[in-house]
Amino acid sequence: MVAVKPFLLDTGEGWVLFFQYNKKNSMSIDNIMQQAAIAFQQYRETKAEQKAVFLETIAANMEAAGAALIGQAAEETHLPQARLVSERARTTMQLRMFAALLREGSWVEATVDTADATVNPAKPDIRKMLIPLGPVVVFGASNFPFAYSTAGGDTASALAAGCAVVVKAHPAHLKTSQLVHKAIKDAIFSSGMPPHVFQHVEDGSFEAGESLVKHAATAAVGFTGSFAGGKALYDHAAARKNPIPVFAEMGSTNPIILLPDTLEKNAEELARQYIASVVLGMGQFCTNPGIVLGIESEGLSRFIAEAEKEIAAAIPQPMLHEGIYKAYHAKMEKALQQTGVNVVGHSSTEPGAGEAWPTLAETDGTAFLSNPLLHEEVFGPYAIIVRCTDLDQLQKVWRSLAGQLTTSLMGTEKDFTEHASMRALAESIAGRIIFNGVPTGVTVCNSMVHGGPFPATTDSRFTAVGINGIKRWVRPVCYQNCPQTLLPPALQNGNPLGIWRLVNNEWTR
C-alpha cells in the first residue's frame, strides 16, 4: 500500500528526509504536497536575487544537458531536432526573463497611500503589493516538451512569483521531463533553495492529477492540453471546500477572416501562407488556424484552388504520441462525415504509421452555423474553409465561435477602412488579434497575450506567455497602519529595493 520510500539525501547543507513519489497513491501525493507547503514557507522569504540566480541556474543546466536532452526529446515526441533546439532556447530565455523581472522588482505593484489626519474621516496608512499564492501544481503539455512542461512558462512564472511548484510530468515525454527535473534539482542544491521547492510527479493517471488538484495544500493549477482534461481539473478545483484557481489553456481554432479586397488581390499568396501555418509542426499547436472564413467570390475560389495544391504538397509527419494520432484521425473523419462538408484535398503523400494526414475541408456558412461539431478543434493538420454568402453571414459565423486564443484579420487598407468595426468584434472573441498574419509562432514579450475567453482558457484575464504570466500565481494584500519594521521591504518608506511604486498617486522610485 505504501508507495512512498523515504530516503536521506545530503544537500550539501545538511541531510534532508525525502519522500520519493513512485506510483499512484493518494498517500504519497499527500507527502509531496506537504513537502511543497513547507518549502513554500521557506522559499517565499528568499531574496529576489537568490531566486533570480536559481532560475538562471536551471536555464544553464538545461543548456549544459546539451544534445542528449534534445535527442531524448526527439525520440519521445518525434519532433524535429531543430524545433526542439529552438524550443529549449525559448524555455531558457523565459527563465532568464523572469530572473530579470525579479532583479528589477517593480512587478510586485507596490502602492503606498500614506495617512492623512486632515480629512474627515481620517485616512489610515494603507500599502499594497502582490504576494505568492502558495504551492502551484503544473500539468506538463504533450506538445511542448520544454516550453510548457517541467521547466516551462508555468513553472518559471510560478517560481518567480515565489511559489513552490509540483509538476505532473506528461507521460508522452517522461524521460525528457526527468532530465529537465535533474537540471532543476541540481539548481536547487547549487543555489541553496529549499529542497522541495520543485517536485516532479511521474504518474500517468487521472487519479494522480485529481489528487494533486484536490489536495488542501494546493493553491493554484496551471494546465495546457485538451478541453476535456482542463475542464475536468477545473471542476475538481471548483468543487473543493476551498476552491482554487485553475489556469487551463485548452482548445482553440484561431479563426482567420479573409476580407474581400485582399481576397481579390492576394488569394494565392494568402492560401500559401495559410496552409503553411496549418501544417506547421503537423498542426500540433494551440495556435493552429483550423477555421478560415471568406465571402463567396472569384477570389475565394482562387484561394481554395491554391490551398488544395498546398495541402497536396504537405508531407505527413509523425504525431506526438499515439493518443493524439488516433484522436486526430477520429475527429477529422467525424468532421468530414457531417452534412454539407466536402474534402478540398489531402496530402498526396500516403501517411506512414503514426503520421498525420494533412487535410483541408470546406463547407458553407449555413451548414457551419447549424452544426456545432464543426466548430470544435481537430488537433492536427486539419482545417475547414467556410464559404459565407455575404459579410453579414461571415460575421454571424465568426460570432458563433467559442472563445479563442487568437483571431486574424486579413485585409488591405481599403478592407480595414471599410470594415473597421470588425476590430471590436474580434476583441469579443480572442485574446490576440492579428492583422495580416497567421497565429502560429507566439512571440515571448511583455505585451503578448496568450489567453482568451472560455473555452480557450478558464480565465481570460491572464496570459500564459510573457512576464505577465506571473500574475496568475499572486494575490494582492494590503497593510493598514503597519509599523515600518513589519512592512515588507517593497513597501517601506525608504524604498530600499529602489522599485517603481505608486506613492500617493505618483509614480516614483
Q: How many residues does the chain have?
A: 509
> DSSP assignment of 292-305, as one string?
EEEESSHHHHHHHH
Least distance from ligand NAP to the Cβ atom of residue 74, Å: 18
* Selected binder of ligand NAP within 85, 131, 327, 503 (CB under 6 A): 327
What mask, x for binding ligand NAP by CB under 6 A, covers residues 367 to 406?
A: ------------x---------------------------
CB-neighbour burial class of residue 337 (10 A; exposed 0-12, middle 13-18, buried 19+): exposed
Task: Report the nearest approach of ligand NAP to the CB of residue 321 (Å).
Answer: 7
What is the contact mask toward ligand NAP in residues 182 to 211, using x (rule: CB under 6 A)? ----------------------xxx--xx-
Separation of first and last alpha carbons in the chain: 57
Phi, psi of 246 (to 5 degrees): -120, 120
CB of 227 to ligand NAP, least distance (A): 7
247 near ligand NAP, rule: CB under 6 A: no
| Residue 226: CB minimum distance to ligand NAP, A | 3
What value does the CA radius of gyration of the chain take, rounded to a whole number of Å?
25
Q: Is 232 in the site for ligand NAP (CB under 6 A)?
A: yes
Out of 222, 225, 381, 431, the only residue in the binding site for ligand NAP (CB under 6 A) is: 225
* Contact by Cβ (8 Å): 469, 459: no
Nearer to ligand NAP by Cβ, of 127 and 181: the residue is 181
Whether the CB-CB separation of 317 and 373 falls below 8 Å is answered with no
Q: Which stretch binds ligand NAP (CB under 6 A): 240-248, 322-330, 346-354, 490-498?
A: 322-330
Annotated active-site residue in 76, 202, 286, 306: 286
Whole-angstrom distance, CA of residue 260 vs CA of residue 2: 66
Q: Is 249 a catalytic residue?
A: yes
**Given candidates 101, 250, 384, 499, which one binds ligand NAP under the rule CB under 6 A?**
250
- Is residue 453 close enough to count as binding ligand NAP by CB under 6 A? no
Q: Which listed residue (25, 72, 142, 199) binds ligand NAP by CB under 6 A?
A: 142
User: Contact, 394 vs 388, CB < 8 A?
Assistant: yes
Indicate whether 139 belongs to the interface with ligand NAP (CB under 6 A): yes
In angstroms, give the least distance from the CB of 90 to ligand NAP: 15
DSSP code per residue over 312-376: HHPPP-B-SSHHHHHHHHHHHHHHHTSTT-EEEEE-SSPP-TTB---EEEEEEHHHHHT-GGGGS
What is the smallest separation between the CB atom of 218 and ligand NAP, expressed in angstroms? 13
Q: Which is nearer to ligand NAP, 323 or 476 (CB)?
A: 323
Q: Are 148 and 169 within 8 A, CB to CB?
A: no
Choose one: 64-72, 154-162, 222-230, 301-309; the region binding ligand NAP (CB under 6 A).
Answer: 222-230
CB atoms within 10 A of CB 276: 13
Which CB sits closer to ligand NAP, 111 or 224?
Answer: 224
Q: CB 75: neighbour CB atoms within 10 A? A: 12
Contact set for ligand NAP, span 151-180 (CB under 6 A): 168, 170-171
Does the CA dihedral 483-484-485-486 come out positive or negative? Answer: positive
- Supply the DSSP string of 450-476, one letter for each residue: ---TTTTBS-TT--SSSGGGGGGGEEE
Q: Which of residues 90-109 bind ligand NAP (CB under 6 A)?
A: none
Of the residues 87, 202, 249, 377, which is catalytic?
Answer: 249
> Considering only CA atoms, which of 224, 287, 222 is closest in space to residue 255?
287
Cβ-based nearer residue to ligand NAP, 160 or 332: 332
Residue 206 CB, nearest distance to ligand NAP (Å)?
4
CB contact burial 183-212 (16+ within 10 A = b; e otherwise): bbbbbbbebebbbbbbbbbbbeeeebbebb
- Per CB under 6 A, does 126 bind ligand NAP? no
Q: Which is nearer to ligand NAP, 205 or 370 (CB)?
A: 205
Q: For residues 9 and 16, is the Cβ–Cβ distance under 8 A?
A: yes
Nearer to ligand NAP, 315 or 330 (CB): 330
Q: Which stretch binds ligand NAP (CB under 6 A): 27-35, 114-122, 139-147, 192-200?
A: 139-147
- Which of 232/444 has CB closer to ligand NAP? 232
Instruction: Name the minimum Å distance from CB 495 to ligand NAP.
Output: 41
Provide the minimum distance between the beta carbon of 209 and ligand NAP in the complex, in angstroms, as a whole number: 3
What residues from 268 to 297 belong to the interface with ligand NAP (CB under 6 A)? 286
Helix (H) or strand (E) holding 407: strand 404-410
Task: Please identify, among the stretches 58-66, 112-120, 218-226, 271-279, the one whose residues bind ligand NAP according to the rule CB under 6 A.
Answer: 218-226
CB of residue 164 to ligand NAP, shortest distance in Å: 19
Residue 229 interacting with ligand NAP (CB under 6 A): yes
By C-beta, is 50 or 205 nearer to ligand NAP?
205
Contact 465, 444 (CB under 8 A): yes
Query: What's the angle, vertex CA 381, arms to CA 380 and CA 384, rounded to 5?
Result: 105
What contacts 323, CB < 8 A, 6 or more positions away? 172
Q: What DSSP assignment string belongs to 166-228?
A: EEE--GGGHHHHHHHHHHHHHHHHHTT--TTSEEEE----HHHHHHHHH-TT--EEEEES-HH
The backbone torsions φ and ψ at residue 179, rounded to the nearest 5 degrees and listed phi first, read -65, -40
Residues near ligand NAP, by CB under 6 A? 139, 141-143, 168, 170-171, 204-206, 209-210, 224-226, 228-229, 232-233, 249-252, 286, 323-324, 327, 379
List active site positions.
Answer: 249, 286
